[in-house]
Structure 1
Amino acid sequence: MEPIKFNYEYSNKLRIGFIGCGAHAYRNVYPTFDYAPIDLVAVCDLNQERADLYKNRFGAKSAYTDYMEMIKKEDLDAIFIVLNFDKNGHPIYPKIVPDILKAGLPVWMEKPLAYTTKEAEELQELEAKTGQTVLVSNKRYFYPTFVKAKQILESSSFGEAASVTGRYPLTLTPFDEKLGERTGLHWFLDICHPMSGIHYLMGDVKEMMFIEHQPSGNVQTLLKFKSGAIGNLELPSTQADTSPLERYEVIGNKENVVIDNAIRLAYYRGSKGSGEYGKAPHYIGDNPLEGPVHWEPEFSLGQLYNKNLFLQGMVQSVNHFAHAVLNDRKVERATLSDAVHLTKIFDAYKNNRSGNWITIE
């Protein structure tokens, strides 16, 4: 991984317009520009007062309430877009991103991509037609723990990943027999969080089957991957608020990796001390250098790596997009294709009763 450069150290920067002046963008996206080749030219929000506030706070030159006016008037290289949901709890991106792509601009956008696979696939088709590139910031493609775990999984010693186990708290609403689908899934759209991490490590899902507990909304899901690997994902909506949010473990050939609470990574390898069963005198391997490895950040020093913007991969996501556009290449992670696959997973929960195997086309 290359060292981070500060914004002022870049001579060539991406001129961007930013659509959306909300709290999430304020906390987690605008601040990343301090560490990326980004020149914030203009901001846009339906609320002019808020747009002006963000313009002044983050150093943009102009503020708009109409994003198409911004695109027409400003000389932009790309658009960042972070929006809330509509009154039905559905993502707004499918209504706006097409205008941006047709205007000939690449897009960095927040997740979730869409409420239906049809909407997601239409955006994918438009991306291909316009020749633009879209990064959907499912951030687990950029978490330092996931990136390192991916590197381990691809090593010859780990062997082919055989299985994965994941846990992330989400609530699945009951299936509505009259409508033939589930409703009220606004927050269940966050299935893109655990599934993006699993997808990054394991590849595309081929089939899945889930069972649910109602009224808690807790879910257990079995997964079959195109690679032949298997897995399960637990969605315990009623876990304690004080519990670490998520945990993942991938098993290979006598090795495994564990990502705990997003920031701790353990790599288990090697063997315990020699000796026949029942008589082994110690549990530390004969060669300690072949034993397990544990990584976690320290929070004592003023380092970038212990900032939340880096721990959650937000700066890395922005940099991946910016450098791709500046060098006229496609993004390689958190692609629109990746997000379409995640939307298909969401659709599988939304449109199906539990207890049946579902093919993910």
Structure 2
Amino acid sequence: MSAIKFNYEYERKIRAGFIGCGAHAFRNVYPTFDYTPIDLVAVCDLNAERAEIYRQRFGAAHMYTDYQEMIQKEKLDAVFVVLNFDREGRPLYPKIVPDLLRAGLPVWMEKPAAYTAEEVEQMLEVEAKSGQFVLVANKRYFYPTFEKAKQIIEQEVFGQPVSINGRYQLTLSPYQEDIATRTGLHWFLDICHPMSGIHYLMGEVKEMCFIDHQPSGNVQALLQFKSGAIGNLQLSSTQADTSPLERFEVIGNKHNLVIDNAMRLIYYKGSKGSGEYGKTPVYIGDNPTEGPVLWEPEFSLGQVYNKNLFLQGMVQSVNYFANAVLEGKKIERSTLHDSWHLTKIFDAFKKRSGQWISIQ
């Protein structure tokens, strides 16, 4: 990522509208505009009082309670959408995003994109016909640790990545034979978090098989990637709350790397000291400069990378989107098509365990 600029330092900005004035948007999305080429023109929320608070707080010129009115009256280059769920725990984006695309507006939207892959397919059809694009903010496509890991994996010296092991705290509800699916999956929509990181590093999954333990909701999933690589994902719902939330390890050719707790990246390479088995005197290696490398943030200095907005890739995501709009180019990362793949994984977990499921 290039050196950051503050909002006032950008010569060109996009005129943006924002649909949604909730707590998540307040914490994690609106503040990114301080570091991105965004001119916030208008905000929209069903709650007029809340919309006015956000208008004043984040410097928008106008507020609306009807997004159709906003996109008709305002001259916008793009729209940000951060919504809640309906009463059944399903994302609301499929009901709104198509209207924005048909209006000729590129969209930055929060995840998860939808409750079913079919809903994402319908949005993909509208996206294709409109000529616009949608960025779905699955953050691991922009985490600094995942971006650096991707850079390492793509180096010839690392070798083709052959396997990945992942762990993430998530609970899967029981399979119900009478209705042939699972219910109560509102929070399991967060499968997009670990799977977006795995997808970014390893590519698309070809097929998968999983087993679940009930009533804990713990899961072990085996993954076969289109590249031929293999992997597993452990969903450890009953791990300690004090434990790091996640961990991923990618194995290459005598090289491997670990992303620990999302913030720490360790790259293992090189060899131990010379000598036959039982007689090797040095565990560090003959040339210690060829040994492991570790990166982790420090929080002593007043750098922007100390902010959660950067550590979790939120600013990077918004910058990527805004620059694509400014340059008239479509995005290639964190796309709606990527979210389609992630939603197909979510659909697979709705099924009975113990069988291989195609993700084609």
Q: Same fold (TM over 0.5)?
A: yes
Q: 1:51, CA displacement in angstroms? A: 0.1
Partner residue, 1:197: 197
Partners of 1:286 and 1:129 lie apart in 2 by 60
Residue type at the aligned position of 1:354: S
Task: Give, in angstroms, the shift of residue 65 of structure 1.
Answer: 0.3
- CA deviation after TM superposition for structure 1 residue 288, in Å: 1.3
Quote the residue 2:95 is aligned against.
Answer: 95
Name the amino acid aligned to 1:307.
K
Q: Percent identity over the alignment?
A: 75
Q: Report the CA distance between 1:125 and its aligned residue.
A: 1.1
Give the distance between the partners of 1:122 and 1:287, measured in 2 at CA.
56
Equivalent residue of 1:356, what SS? coil
Q: Name the structure 2 match of 1:355.
A: 354
Secondary structure at the residue paired with 1:167?
strand
Between the two proteins, the alignment pairs up a number of residues equal to 360
Deviation sequence 1:97-140 (CA, Å, 0-9, x none): 01101111000000000001110111011111110010000000
Q: What pairs with 1:254-265 in structure 2 (closer than 5 Å)?
A: 254-265=254-265
Which residue pairs with 1:280 in the alignment?
280
Structure 2 residue aligned with 1:181: 181
Shift, 1:282, TM fit: 1.2
Cα distance per residue 1:145-165 (max 9 Å; x no partner): 000000000001000000000
Secondary structure at 1:118 match in 2: helix
Aligned partner of 1:213 in structure 2 is: 213
1:257 shift after superposition: 0.6
1: CA distance between counterparts of 2:158 and 2:306? 28
Question: Mapping of 1:76-155 within 5 angstroms?
Answer: 76-155=76-155
1:279 offset after TM fit, Å? 1.1
SS in 1 for 2:156: coil
SS at match of 2:182: coil
Shift of residue 284, structure 1, vs aligned partner: 1.0
Task: Please give the residue correspondences for 1:47-66 in structure 2 after superposition, counting only pairs within 5 Å.
Answer: 47-66=47-66
| Partner Cα separation in structure 2 for residue 276 and residue 337 of structure 1 | 51
For 2:11 and 2:67, the matched residues in 1 are separated by: 27
1:211-360 superposed matches below 5 A: 211-350=211-350, 352-360=351-359
- Equivalent position amino acid for 2:80 in 1: F
Letter in 1 for 2:358: T
Distance in 2 (alpha carbons) for counterparts of 1:102 and 1:24: 27
**1: distance between equivalents of 2:225 and 2:124?**
22
2:13 matched to 1:9? no
What is the DSSP-based 3-state SS (H/G/I as helix, E as strand, rest coil) of the residue aligned with 1:210? strand
1:233 match: secondary structure? strand
The CA distance in 2 between the partners of 1:273 and 1:27, in whole Å, is: 49
Q: Equivalent residue of 1:173, what SS?
A: coil
Q: Which amino acid aligns with 2:246?
A: E
Unaligned runs of 5+ in 2: none
- The residue type paired with residue 352 of structure 2 is R
Distance in 1 between the 2:37 and 2:358 partners? Answer: 41
Mean CA deviation greater in 282-291 or 51-60: 282-291
Q: What secondary structure does 1:188 align onto? A: helix
Q: Give the counterpart letter for 1:280 in structure 2.
A: T
> Structure 1 residue 306: deviation in Å?
1.4
Q: Tell me the equivalent position of 1:41.
A: 41
Letter of the 1:358 partner, please give it. Answer: I
1:154-169 paired onto structure 2 within 5 Å: 154-169=154-169
Q: How many Å apart are 1:241 and its aligned residue?
A: 0.5
Q: Deviations over 1:143-198 (max 9, x none)?
A: 00000000000001000000000000111111111111111100000000000000
Mapped to 2, the partners of 1:356 and 1:332 lie a distance apart of 33
Classify the secondary structure of the residue corresponding to 1:157.
Answer: helix
Task: Name the aligned partner's letter for residue 90 of structure 1.
Answer: R
Larger displacement relative to structure 2 (186-195 or 276-285): 276-285
The separation in 2 between residues aligned to 1:353 and 1:344, in whole angstroms, is: 15
Unmatched tracts of structure 1, length 5 or more: none
Report the Cα offset of residue 67 of structure 1. 0.3
Q: Which amino acid aligns with 1:327?
A: E
Residue 313 of structure 1 aligns to which amino acid in structure 2? G
> Quick one: distance in 1 between partners of 2:203 and 2:306?
28
Question: Secondary structure of the residue that 1:195 maps to in structure 2?
Answer: helix
In structure 1, the residue matched to 2:27 is 27
